[in-house]
Amino acid sequence: MPSPFQYCNSLVSYSRFHTREVKAGTLGIGGRNPFRIQSMTTTDTMNTMATVEQSIRMIEAGCELVRITAPSINEAENLAEIKKELRKRGYDTPLVADIHFTPNAAETAARIVEKVRINPGNYADKKKFEAIEYSEDTYRAELERIRERFTPLVKICKEYGTAMRIGTNHGSLSDRIMSRYGDSPLGMVESALEFVAICEENNYFDIVLSMKASNTRVMVQAYRLLVHRMMEAGRNYPLHLGVTEAGEGEDGRIKSAAGIGTLLEDGLGDTIRVSLTEDPEFEIPVAKVIAAKYSSYRKHNPIPEINGKLPYNPFEYDRKHSREVFNTGGGHPPVVLTDFSSGKEQLTEASLSPAGYHYSVPLDKWNITEQACDYLYAGSRIIDFETPGTLGIIYDYKTWKANKKSGRYPLFNGKEYFEAKEKSEDLNFVIADISLVRDPESFPLKKLKENVILVITTENRHGMAEQRRIFIELQQQKCRIPVIIRRDYNLPDEECLRLYASSDFGGLLLDGFGDGIWISTRGKFSPSVTNPLGFGILQATRTRISKTEYISCPSCGRTLFDLQETTAKIRKRTDHLKGVKIGIMGCIVNGPGEMADADYGYVGVGPGKISLYRGKEVMKRAIPAEQAVDELIRLIKEDGNWVEKEA
């Protein structure tokens, strides 16, 4: 495994990785250009007018590159008609042909559109989930075969001035790559670099690279490793960022922001595509909000550089273990702390419902959901009723001191902890701004007792990097105190909150930092918004699973059924199956490989025909679509993974 980033200080002090400029028509990608926003049509490419109309809706929403699938030479040829109609209507947005399996379609499209996207896992390779033993000679022979198949496209792109994206997908690595490197970020990087080398042999450099996965950990590690390898070789190709098959609604947005935002925080990325199981014009505003957050990051408070080597490997996930304090730290998953401190009305049993605690008056008992917060911060508001034993109530120090009988834990503000004569014998929360934590005289970490949980917050615009810096310092000092990450937000709407929080917390959690999260909006948004958002971020980073996970492709012209309608049907009947992962794929291109590590797969294999998978194994082939959801549930039941939904 390579050593940590050569530019590891970019992880704590924003420094954008400077890439070469690649032109798609007149549009510059990389270099000093802003982040470019793109999406992909979902219409049948042979339906010229439908594709044109959808493209226009995308462009008017802010899409700067329009990608269109070309699964065969017929669709590739029809790109000329689509382009002609768009230009006739006054739209000169560059078009990108999306290619899988069909080199002749790519070669045709490269003469028509401004950019082609090829997938090295299936352009000249195959995927049958076969383990193949290669000697050095046979492996080189396979590379030579790929060189012969791929070189004609490279020469056409060079002749016509067509840009190319070499887009590796985690789920569609070829059997050849899988046999040598496994199902890994390293395999993704090697798959792309083999094709890059062929381009360079032909003096062709108009290349954009991507490393997409539905697993945010894998996606982040692959991009970081790719950049590391490029830096070693003196390469600097632009990066297309995206979490593939992110899903729909809130979950899809959280997952996309966590993965894309983490890399933008690292200074990586030149163009963005948010993949949602929704109409493509709805992807654009989401991508624009994420991009806007980082477009102004050149102005932030300075953060000290790292002395010596990075004390962890940014190319692998490793949970940084702290000591166990109650249910926090140690081997426990990250906790969720929900803020109820705003408001003057009396808190009642019903007030806790948004936090996942539902009180039944007739039964006089609590129903605790899978997304019930672990701690509730009441501030100065008194709770004078019996709460569930699984819920920790936190007061500010003055309220706790004045009403010790009604309070479980105090919350100290920084130096207040060291100045206070009286402390909770059970548990103390100490909240401190990072600037205070970094001052050993006013905030001596070594004097924090064994029953303390530290809460770190920051006002820095580049807060994730600053908080990461504190975790690195704690590692260097071998300080194992549990740490909850807190961020305060004053944002205009829920969408901004969702995307900002997902990117701010996501990068730290994906690096294995943090024993809990606290999203504070100072009362602007209720716990009914912030509590599920906290659990959604943990789910997206795979640090705590509290609900069913859906790996749902964003639909395109290859899709063989209504993805949005079908996803809604499957979600309605299965969203109570905690920890089960279901892949919903519109066609065989995004089939068993793209589902990667899903437990079950629902894949379109023909008009009105669905195949069901257990992992990567086909269990039921080409069954009628109207029976497929029932058959999927029957398969889950056969495996013993089904539980009945509570009334």
* Euclidean distance between CA atoms 376 and 531, whole angstroms: 10
Confidence category of residue 7, pLDDT binned at 50, 70, 90: very low
441 pLDDT band, cuts 50/70/90, is: confident
Distance CA 273, CA 155 (A): 27
Confidence (pLDDT) at 302: 53
Rounded Cα distance between 584 and 224, Å, is 28
Q: Is residue 290 part of a domain?
A: no
- Condensed to tens digits (0 to 9), the pLDDT of residues 479-522 reads 899 999 999 999 999 999 999 999 999 999 999 999 999 999 98
Same structural domain, 239 and 136 = yes
* Residue 93 is assigned to a structural domain of this protein: yes
pLDDT of 2 higher than 50: no
CA distance 48 to 626: 29
Mean of all residue pLDDT scores within the chain: 89
Residues 506 and 577 in one domain: no
Alpha-helix runs per DSSP H in 43-184: 48-61, 73-88, 103-109, 136-160, 175-181
- How distant, in Å, are the alpha carbons of 61, 408, 579 from that of 122? 32, 58, 31
Are 510 and 572 found together in one domain?
no
CATH number for the domain spanning 190: value is 3.20.20.20
Q: For residue 625, give the CATH number of its domain.
A: 3.30.413.10
Q: Assess if residue 11 is contained within a domain.
A: no
Residue type (1 letter), 507 = G
Residues 427 and 572 in one domain: no
**Same domain as 193, residue 143:** yes
In a domain, 318, yes or no: no
Percent of the chain's residues with pLDDT above 90: 61
**518: enclosing H helix or E strand:** strand 516-520
Which residues span the domain enclosing 102?
18-282
| pLDDT at residue 599, as a whole number | 87
Do 535 and 581 share a structural domain? no
Q: State the average pLDDT over residues 85-92.
A: 98
Quote the pLDDT of residue 588.
62
- Judgement on whether residues 553 and 536 belong to the same structural domain of the protein: no
DSSP state of 210: E
- Tokens 């490279």 belong to 154
pLDDT at 99 exceeding the cut of 60: yes
Angstrom distance (rounded) from CA 271 to CA 291: 9
Residue that finishes a domain, picked among 261, 282, 303: 282
Distance from C-alpha of 337 to C-alpha of 560, rounded to nearest angstrom? 43
Instruction: Say yes or no: 268 and 344 in one domain.
Output: no
- Cα dihedral sign, 204-208-209-214: negative
Please tell me the total count of domains within the chain.
Answer: 3
Q: Which tens digit of pLDDT belongs to each residue from 139-171?
A: 889 999 999 999 999 999 999 999 999 999 998
The last residue of one of the domains, among 540, 575, 600, is: 540
Q: How many residues are recorded in the chain?
A: 647
> pLDDT-derived band of residue 25, with 50, 70 and 90 as boundaries?
very high
One domain, residues 472 and 364: yes
pLDDT band at 462 (very low <50, low <70, confident <90, very high): confident
Strand partners, 581: 549
Question: If pLDDT is split at 50, 70 and 90, which confidence band does 336 have?
Answer: very high
Q: Is residue 8 part of a domain?
A: no
Which of 540, 563, 594 is the last residue in one of the domains?
540
Q: Which residues contact 45 (CB under 8 A, 6 or more apart)?
A: 51, 68, 69, 70, 71, 75, 78, 79, 82, 557
Name residues whose C-beta falls within 8 Å of residue 140's C-beta, 6 or more positions apart in sequence. Answer: none
* Pairwise CA distance, residues 24 & 206, whole Å: 9
Q: How far apart are CA 645 and CA 575, in angstroms?
A: 9
Strand partners, 376: 338, 393
Better-predicted residue by pLDDT, 190 or 605: 190
**Can you list the alpha helix ranges (DSSP code H) found in 350-485?**
397-402, 416-419, 434-437, 463-476
Same domain, 474 and 579: no
> Do 490 and 611 belong to one domain?
no
Higher pLDDT, residue 214 or 271: 271
Query: How crowded is residue 231: how many other Cβ atoms within 10 Å of its Cβ?
Result: 14
Share of the chain above pLDDT 70, in %: 91
Q: Is the dihedral of CA 56, 57, 63, 68 positive or negative?
A: negative
**pLDDT tens profile 301-325:** 555 566 667 778 889 999 988 999 9
b or e along 600-638 (b: 16 or more beta carbons within 10 Å of the residue's beta carbon)? bbbbbbeeebbbbbbeeeebbeebebeebbebbbebbee
Within 10 Å of residue 3's Cβ, how many Cβ atoms?
A: 11
Residue 646, burial from CB neighbour count under 10 angstroms (0-12, 13-18, 19+): exposed
**504 and 558 part of one domain:** no
Report which DSSP code applies to 346: P
How high is the pLDDT of residue 14?
Answer: 58
In a domain, 646, yes or no: no
pLDDT at residue 1, as a whole number: 36
Helix (H), strand (E), coil (C) string for 60-93: HHCCCEEEEECCCHHHHHHHHHHHHHHHHCCCCC
Residue 4 lies in a domain: no
Compute the radius of gyration of the chain from its Cα atoms: 26
Question: For residue range 372-398, what is the model confidence (pLDDT) as tens digits?
Answer: 999 999 999 999 899 998 999 999 999
Tell me the per-residue pLDDT of 568-599, one tens digit each, with 9 for 90 and over.
888 888 988 887 888 888 776 555 555 657 88
Tens digit of each residue's pLDDT (9 = 90 or more) over 29-52: 999 999 999 999 999 999 999 999
Q: Considering the domain boundaries, does residue 323 fall inside one?
A: no
